[in-house]
C-alpha cells in the first residue's frame, strides 16, 4: 500500500479564548493509504495543548512508511499496530492517524463497513454536547445563541469565576451541562462543595477537576461527589486505566490520546468490565477523525463530538448534525471521504 499525507489548517468559524490566548485554527495532518485504487483516510489533529507538533508527526509518519508499505490487510491489524507503537514512545496523534486510515482501508478492501469488519455494533445516532470555551461574558452569550439546536452544553471552567459562569448560563438556559475544568481546581474540599452546588444546577458530569497527579485527592472527591466524575487528562491510553481505580466514575476516550480505534475499543471493553461510564470525545478533529470516533457510539454513555461544527473549512464529509444529534451512516469503511479540494 502507498502512504501519502498532507498538512492542513482547520480554521475556526469563531476564534475563541481569553485575550492573548485566542485559538484561530487547529493544525492537522491528513493521511491516506492506497491499495489497488482504494483509499483509506486518517487524521492526526494537533492543537497546541496536545504537545505534538506537525514536524514531529510528519517525521513519525516517515518512520512508519516502510512498515505500512509492506502491510497487507489480510494480516492482523492489531499485531501490526503494536509494531507502529514500538517505533517511538508518544506521537499518539500520528499513531491514531495510521490506525484510522488502516482500519478504513482494510474494511473497504473487505467490502464492509468498519463496524461489520471489526465485528462490533454499528454506531448510528447520539445527542452530542456543544462546547463553549472560556471567553468573555459577551462571547459566551453569543455562543449560547449558536448552540440552540443542541440538547447538552459542555462548558470549560477552571477559573476563579466558575460559579459566576455557570450562573450566567443558567440565567439563559436550563439545558444539561457537562463542566470541564481541565485540571483547574486544586482543593479537594472546594471540589466536593462545587459538586454539591452543581448538582442543583443540572450539571450532569464533571470532567478532570484536578491535576492529573492528584489521584489520591480525586479518589477522595469521587467517593463524595454528587455528580459523575470523568477523567480526561488523567487517561491517555489503556495502560493508564488500572492505576486510576476509584479516582473517577467515567473516562473521556479520545482517538488522538489513545492512538486510535483499536485501542479505543479495548478501553471501552475495560470500562464496561469495570463499570465506568464512557464519554467519547475529541481534540478538535475534522469530519475525518470525528466520523471514525462516531463509529463507536453504540458503546457510549455520553458523546462530545461537535468539533466539525466549529470549522469553516472542514475538508471531509462524514458525520451529520441535526437536532442536537450526531449521526453516522453505515457505509464502506469508516465513511469519511474528502471533498474535492483536498488533494494529496
Ligand atoms: Mg477535557
Q: What is the 39 CA–ligand 1 centroid distance (Å)?
A: 32
Q: What is the 257 CA–ligand 1 centroid distance (Å)?
A: 11
Q: What is the 3 CA–ligand 1 centroid distance (Å)?
A: 32
Q: What is the 235 CA–ligand 1 centroid distance (Å)?
A: 11
Q: How many CA atoms lie within 13 A of 52 on its CB side?
A: 24
The domain spans of the chain are: 2-112, 125-338
Residue 11 has what pLDDT? Answer: 96
Read off the pLDDT band of 20 (50, 70, 90): low
* DSSP state at residue 339: -
125-338 placed in CATH 3.20.20.120: yes
Read off the pLDDT band of 19 (50, 70, 90): low
Q: What is the 332 CA–ligand 1 centroid distance (Å)?
A: 31
Q: What is the 1 CA–ligand 1 centroid distance (Å)?
A: 36
Read off the pLDDT band of 146 (50, 70, 90): confident
Q: What is the dihedral of CA 155, 303, 270, 107, to 10 degrees?
A: -140
Q: What is the 232 CA–ligand 1 centroid distance (Å)?
A: 5
The model's pLDDT over 111-125, given as tens digits with 9 standing for 90+, comes to: 999 999 999 999 899
The model's pLDDT over 226-285, given as tens digits with 9 standing for 90+, comes to: 999 999 999 999 999 999 999 999 999 999 999 999 999 999 999 999 999 999 999 999
Instruction: Compute the mean pLDDT over every residue in the chain, rounded to the nearest whole number.
Output: 95
Residue 280 has what pLDDT? Answer: 98
Q: What is the 258 CA–ligand 1 centroid distance (Å)?
A: 14
Per mean pLDDT, which of 3-17, 153-167, 268-282 is the most reliable?
268-282
Q: What is the 114 CA–ligand 1 centroid distance (Å)?
A: 27
Residue 136 has what pLDDT? Answer: 83
Q: What is the 79 CA–ligand 1 centroid distance (Å)?
A: 30
Q: What is the 34 CA–ligand 1 centroid distance (Å)?
A: 34
Read off the pLDDT band of 340 (50, 70, 90): confident
Q: Kindly state the average pLDDT of the residues 157-171.
A: 92
How many angstroms separate the CA atoms of 271 and 82, rounded?
A: 21
Q: Which CATH superfamily is domain 2-112 in?
A: Enolase-like, N-terminal domain (3.30.390.10)
Q: What is the 315 CA–ligand 1 centroid distance (Å)?
A: 25
Closest alpha carbon to 315 in 283, 280, 291, 281: 291
Amino acid at each position: 500500500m502507498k502512504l501519502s499525507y498532507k498538512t492542513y489548517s482547520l480554521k475556526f468559524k469563531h476564534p475563541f479564548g481569553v485575550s492573548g490566548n485566542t485559538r484561530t485554527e487547529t493544525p492537522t495532518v491528513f493521511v491516506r493509504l492506497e491499495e489497488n485504487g482504494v483509499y483509506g483516510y486518517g487524521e492526526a489533529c494537533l492543537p497546541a495543548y496536545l504537545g505534538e507538533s506537525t514536524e514531529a508527526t510528519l517525521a513519525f509518519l516517515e518512520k512508519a512508511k516502510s512498515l505500512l508499505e509492506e502491510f497487507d490487510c489480510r494480516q492482523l491489524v492489531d499485531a501490526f499496530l503494536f509494531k507502529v507503537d514500538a517505533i517511538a514512545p508518544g506521537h499518539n496523534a500520528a499513531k491514531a492517524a495510521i490506525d484510522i486510515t488502516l482500519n478504513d482501508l482494510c474494511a473497504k478492501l473487505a467490502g464492509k463497513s468498519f463496524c461489520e469488519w471489526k465485528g462490533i455494533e454499528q454506531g448510528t445516532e447520539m445527542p452530542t454536547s456543544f462546547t463553549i470555551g472560556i471567553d468573555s461574558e459577551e462571547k459566551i452569550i453569543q455562543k449560547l445563541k449558536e448552540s440552540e439546536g443542541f440538547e447538552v452544553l459542555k462548558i470549560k471552567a477552571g477559573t476563579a469565576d466558575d460559579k459566576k459562569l455557570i450562573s450566567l448560563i443558567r440565567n439563559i438556559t436550563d439545558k444539561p451541562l457537562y463542566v470541564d475544568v481541565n485540571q483547574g481546581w486544586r482543593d479537594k474540599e472546594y471540589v466536593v462543595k462545587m459538586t454539591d452546588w452543581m448538582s442543583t444546577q443540572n450539571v450532569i458530569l464533571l470532567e478532570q477537576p484536578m491535576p492529573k497527579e492528584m489521584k489520591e485527592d480525586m479518589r477522595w472527591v469521587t467517593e463524595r461527589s454528587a455528580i459523575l466524575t470523568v477523567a480526561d487528562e488523567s487517561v491517555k491510553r489503556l495502560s493508564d486505566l488500572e492505576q486510576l481505580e476509584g479516582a473517577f466514575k467515567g473516562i473521556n476516550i479520545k482517538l488522538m490520546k489513545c492512538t486510535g480505534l483499536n485501542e479505543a475499543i479495548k478501553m471501552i471493553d475495560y470500562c464496561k468490565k469495570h463499570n465506568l461510564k464512557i464519554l467519547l470525545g475529541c481534540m478538535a478533529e475534522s469530519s475525518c477523525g470525528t466520523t471514525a470516533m462516531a463509529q463507536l457510539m453504540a458503546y457510549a454513555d455520553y458523546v462530545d463530538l461537535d468539533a466539525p461544527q466549529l470549522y469553516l473549512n472542514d475538508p471531509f464529509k462524514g458525520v451529520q448534525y441535526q437536532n442536537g444529534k450526531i449521526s453516522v451512516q453505515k457505509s464502506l469503511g469508516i465513511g469519511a471521504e474528502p471533498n474535492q479540494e483536498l488533494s494529496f
